[in-house]
């Protein structure tokens, strides 16, 4: 799908990236050393990590998306760095009217034959695309996700530069025990996969069918006939407002929380097809008590084996079987470091599960549990499969939203009926 960058373009971009990196990181390193001397190691690391995040922001949208993906790899990267990367947000100005007109011409031979009206003021803007409100000749209002001009060339170029620089760094002794090339390969796939609008349209249709069994969940209908490789046309959902739950009753907020959490569990444990980007910009609540799921550009299909292992892990965690949880993590691991200690990991992982078993719902933190598990994986040399890390991220991202809506939500009890369907009941075909 992606155009292959020329050698000259790669060289020019690599020189630019290295120059900007040097300009940011050299003073950042000295600043980190000074803070380490006067304030301790934690302060020094925090300063360096924040400057790294600043560097990613300066280098542009591709690097921001890469940073967002890498921030999920808590089994490989330090937790403090992942915390800093997790706050990265796309900060890209919307397309100007002339750019929108160009993007429309690139997507359609004759836009007027498809749209009776098209509002060139975007209702949403991201690094890959902008979203517009339009009207079909049938009179139906639609949302049009239109890819930015030249974004494929620019993102392909940047991802290639990142992967080649990482391949050189992987040869350094300090990187010897890390799966750098594998991590970068999955990062590149996740970032460039968001350019594939045909796949995203298919993912939205699949999520709509899969989540139809979850009460009050709404995934927009895709209009395939009007969609194109550079454009997705879907039903326009009015009244999307992140503040809607604040205007609703406590009972409605609890229903929001239950539906949102159940939708993630349905993806993880039953269907194995997971929306991995369920941040507040892609998850809305309407005043009619519906949960709206948008933007399926970053979705992952678990193999049947991994889907079942994922479900078994949560089932065993909910009943306190720590030994089996540890075995499942090892079974699903992508590999072990040369100096790995799987026996030590198994003991500590089992202890983690036992300590969290039957903890009151209000006190249980999935983020804290996962962070400690990833710390153990790093410490004992267990490399998690990226196919499991990305879906787990979707659950971690939504935890804060669910807790805000319903502080008493019991994540483990809510999972049990969905787990039973996933392990012993009917599952949707892949």
∠ CA 175-179-10 to the nearest 5 degrees? 80
Please state whether 307 falls in left (phi above 0), alpha (psi between -120 and 50) or beta: alpha
Asked if 197 and 147 count as a contact pair (C-beta separation under 8 A), the reply is yes
Domain final position from 51, 86, 121: 86
Q: Is residue 232 in some structural domain?
A: no
- Per-residue pLDDT tens for 174-189? 666 667 777 788 788 8
Q: To which H or E segment does residue 291 belong? A: strand 291-293
| pLDDT of the residue at 177 | 64
pLDDT at residue 192 greater than cutoff 50: yes
Backbone angles phi, psi at 68, to 5 degrees: -60, -45
Average pLDDT over residues 298-313: 87
CA angle 338, 340, 342 (to 5 degrees): 140
Contact 100, 130 (CB under 8 A): yes
Q: Give a yes or no: residue 200 inside a domain.
A: no
Report the sign of the C-alpha dihedral through residues 187, 191, 194, 195, in that order.
Answer: negative
Is-contact 329 303, C-beta < 8 A?
A: no
- End-to-end, the C-alpha distance of the chain in Å comes to 23
pLDDT in tens, 352-395: 999 988 788 778 888 788 888 888 988 898 887 766 676 777 77
Q: Is residue 325 part of a domain?
A: yes
Q: Which domain holds residue 70?
A: 7-86
What is the C-alpha separation between 360 and 363, in angstroms, rounded? 5
Please list, in sequence order, all residues whose beta carbon lies within 8 angstroms of the beta carbon of residue 389, skipping any fewer than 6 positions away: 72, 73, 74, 75
Domain end among 19, 52, 86:
86
pLDDT value at 349 more than 50: yes
Does the pLDDT of residue 102 top 70, yes or no?
A: yes
The structure's pTM equals: 0.79
Q: Average pLDDT for residues 159-172, to the nearest whole number? A: 84
Q: Is residue 372 assigned to a domain? A: yes
Q: Decide if 144 is inside a domain.
A: no
Q: Give the count of domains, the chain.
A: 2
End position of a domain, from candidates 21, 55, 86: 86
In a domain, 74, yes or no: yes
Any domain includes 36? yes
Whether residue 137 is contained in a domain is answered as: no
């Amino acid at each position: 799908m992606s155009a292959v960058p020329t050698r000259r373009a790669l060289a020019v971009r690599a020189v630019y990236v290295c120059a900007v990196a040097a300009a940011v990181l050299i003073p950042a390193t000295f600043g980190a050393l000074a803070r380490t001397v006067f304030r301790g190691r934690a302060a020094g690391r925090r300063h360096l990590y924040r400057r790294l995040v600043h560097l990613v922001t300066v280098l542009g949208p591709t690097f921001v998306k890469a940073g967002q993906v890498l921030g999920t790899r808590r089994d490989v990267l330090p937790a403090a760095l992942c915390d800093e990367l997790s706050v990265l947000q796309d900060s890209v100005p919307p397309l100007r009217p002339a750019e929108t007109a160009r993007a429309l011409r690139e997507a359609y031979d004759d836009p007027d034959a498809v749209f009776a009206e098209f509002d060139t003021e975007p209702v949403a803007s991201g690094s890959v695309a902008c979203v517009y409100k339009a009207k079909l000749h049938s009179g139906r209002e639609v949302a049009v996700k239109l890819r930015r001009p030249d974004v494929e060339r620019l993102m392909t170029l940047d991802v290639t530069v990142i992967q080649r620089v990482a391949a050189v760094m992987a040869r350094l002794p300090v990187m010897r025990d890390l799966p750098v090339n594998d991590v970068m390969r999955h990062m590149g796939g996740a970032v460039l996969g968001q350019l594939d609008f045909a796949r995203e349209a298919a993912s939205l249709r699949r999520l709509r069918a899969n989540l139809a069994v979850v009460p009050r969940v709404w995934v927009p209908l895709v209009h395939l006939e009007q969609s194109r490789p550079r454009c997705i046309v879907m039903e326009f959902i009015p009244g999307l407002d992140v503040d809607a739950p604040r205007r609703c009753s406590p009972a409605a907020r609890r229903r929001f929380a239950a539906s949102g959490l159940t939708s993630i569990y349905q993806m993880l444990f039953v269907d194995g097809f997971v929306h991995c980007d369920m941040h507040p910009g892609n998850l809305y609540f309407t005043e009619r008590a519906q949960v709206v799921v948008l933007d399926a550009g970053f979705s992952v299909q678990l193999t049947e084996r991994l889907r079942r292992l994922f479900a078994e892990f949560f089932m065993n965690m909910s009943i306190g079987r720590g030994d089996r949880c540890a075995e499942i993590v090892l079974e699903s691991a992508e590999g072990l470091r040369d100096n790995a200690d799987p026996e030590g990991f198994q003991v500590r992982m089992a202890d983690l599960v036992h300590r969290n078993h039957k903890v009151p719902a209000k006190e249980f933190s999935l983020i804290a549990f996962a962070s400690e598990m990833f710390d153990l994986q790093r410490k004992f040399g267990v490399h998690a499969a990226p196919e499991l890390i990305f879906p787990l991220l979707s659950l971690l991202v939504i935890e804060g939203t669910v807790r805000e809506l319903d502080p008493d939500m019991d994540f483990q009890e809510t999972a049990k009926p969905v787990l039973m369907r996933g392990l012993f009941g009917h599952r949707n075909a892949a």
